[in-house]
Amino acid sequence: MKGIFDTKRDSGYDDEIAFRYHFPKMYRAVVETLVGGRIVYREPQRNGGRRAYVATARVVGIEQDPARPGHAYAVMAEYQEFDKPVPFVRDGRYWETSLLSVPDPSRVGAFLQGKSIRTIPQSDFAAIVRAGLAETLMPDNAIRLELDSQHVDGPTQELLNLPLEEQERRIDQILMNRKIRQASFRRKVCDAYDSRCAITGLRIVNGGGKSEAQAAHIWSVADGGPDVVQNGIALSATVHWLFDRHLISLTDDYRILVSHNKVPSELRTLFAKQMDRIHLPADDRLWPHPAYVARHRERFSSV
């Protein structure tokens, strides 16, 4: 079963949509049908939303809200933001089949009142998600994102070579493919940092558009970290190696911490000029999340 979860900024709900979605009891029966399945997050236009589908995730359970009677949480996993928001309306037509039956398009908003959580057919879900991953799956980006034949296995290459309609049919396999998820994460992080290593400040891009900088997770996926830009940082290969082993970390104000007794002096020269503050995305909404940085720093302190 597939569904839509509407998400609004400043909604008053206790959402952290990569991990939990807060809802009132009127939606409980619908959410129960979606446990084990995937949903698409949509931002309505209200409250400054983008009027678009923005991400997908899997519903893995329901937990009662102990602090707010009549409310519960959908427990979420495998959260993945789209390459770009998918507009609510495409070429004058709605992605959601149920909305095509609304005779007056100006009444769609009224039709969706009380339907912030709703089910959709697999075909609707697949079409929206495939559109959301269009840049990652674009053949022209294969080398840049390491989705070319030199970097992927046979099953992944098969998925990438499929025509669009067949990719939609196998969209769940695409979402579960770790190599494709990594490529999507890499694209978002490297674009946010303009393909520049946040710590050395170096920006090296080859003729195929592939940056020397890699997308490092701050809170590792293996430990439960999400594939979101705010949990990523663009780093050159050597610095990435040091960061993953918690030999370097960050302060709350994004200055570099170095384990001087474990990092050789010749490596410390790589980032000597960046000790005041690292290079950060131009959009401060994409800066590393303080909670993820704090997790990384805890491991750094224990090394």
How many other C-beta atoms are found inside a 10 Å radius of the C-beta of residue 194? 14
Q: Find out whether 60 and 36 touch, Cβ atoms under 8 Å.
A: yes
Residue 108 lies in a domain: no
Predicted confidence (pLDDT) per residue in 101-146, tens digit = 887 887 888 888 899 999 999 999 999 999 999 999 999 999 999 9
Residue 122 lies in a domain: no
Average pLDDT for residues 141-166, to the nearest whole number?
Answer: 96
pLDDT surpasses 70 at 299:
yes
Residue 93 lies in a domain: no
Q: Which residue range forms the structural domain that includes residue 65?
A: 2-82
186 or 206, higher pLDDT: 186
pLDDT surpasses 80 at 199:
yes
CATH of the domain at 52: 2.30.130
pLDDT surpasses 80 at 188:
yes
Residue 237 lies in a domain: yes
Residue 140 lies in a domain: no
Say what the pLDDT of residue 275 is: 65
Does the pTM exceed 0.85? yes
The Cα 112–Cα 108 span in angstroms is: 6
Q: Which residues, other chains included, contact 42 with Cβ-Cβ below 8 Å and sequence gap of 6+? A: 4, 5, 6, 7, 52, 53, 54, 88
Choose one of 67, 82, 97: the last residue of a domain.
Answer: 82
Residue 242 lies in a domain: yes
The Cα 86–Cα 95 span in angstroms is: 10
Amino acid in the structure at residue 34: L
Choose one of 82, 102, 128: the last residue of a domain.
Answer: 82
State the pLDDT confidence band at 268, using cuts at 50, 70 and 90: confident
Average pLDDT for residues 187-213, to the nearest whole number?
Answer: 91
Choose one of 60, 82, 104: the last residue of a domain.
Answer: 82
Amino acid in the structure at residue 162: L
Total number of domains constituting the chain? 2
- Residue 128, both tokens: 């929206």
Residue 166 lies in a domain: no
- Residue 245, both tokens: 């082993």
Residue 144 lies in a domain: no
Say what the pLDDT of residue 280 is: 97
